[in-house]
Structure 1
């Protein structure tokens, strides 16, 4: 592994709480507005962002919110849900 791709040592990660690490992962996996159109239907990306959000809610002791996110992730993976239309496109006809 090159230096740029090495994972931080466990001692470095211990400086952060589990919640902080989960929030960082959620932020990293969230689709940015600039990438929305390109990734909105990518099932793995969408499921990953929902699972990361579920972990955050679990760590915040909000199991019902976590369950909703896990159900969304399952829906992306089993193809029972699809991407909604772009919010900005639906607003233009008002």
Structure 2
């Protein structure tokens, strides 16, 4: 079986809009519920996820939605934010009655 060449892949990518490609990237970089506990504090993974989401919003001409995601991405990279504790695993936390 022949493997596609870089040129073949590039021409097949041209069939998609920039927004579709960005959406695919966002979906690829999004942290799934199954991976959440493993990656919730992974700064690179979290920054990738937020930056990709910001690109999608920018391409949809929604800068007001892109900006907080870009700020989140920067926060993960400069270590100014951290993952909050998982609410289902906090000790001593009681639900409202």
Q: Across the two proteins, how many residue pairs are aligned to each other?
A: 90
Q: Which of 1 and 2 has greater Rg?
A: 2
5+ long unaligned stretches in structure 1: none
After the TM superposition, list the runs of 4 or more consecutive aligned residues in structure 1 that deviate by more than 3 angstroms.
87-90
Q: Partners in 1 of 2:68 and 2:59 — Cα distance? A: 15
Taking only aligned residues, the RMSD between alpha carbons, in angstroms, comes to 2.0
Aligned equivalents of 1:26, 1:86: Cα separation in 2: 23
Match of 2:28 in 1: 28
The separation in 1 between residues aligned to 2:87 and 2:18, in whole angstroms, is 33
TM-score (norm: length of structure 1): 0.85
Long gaps (5+) in structure 2: none
| 1:87 to 1:17, Cα distance in 2 relative to 1, 3 A | farther
Q: Scaled by the length of structure 2, what TM-score is found?
A: 0.82
2:85 aligned residue: 85
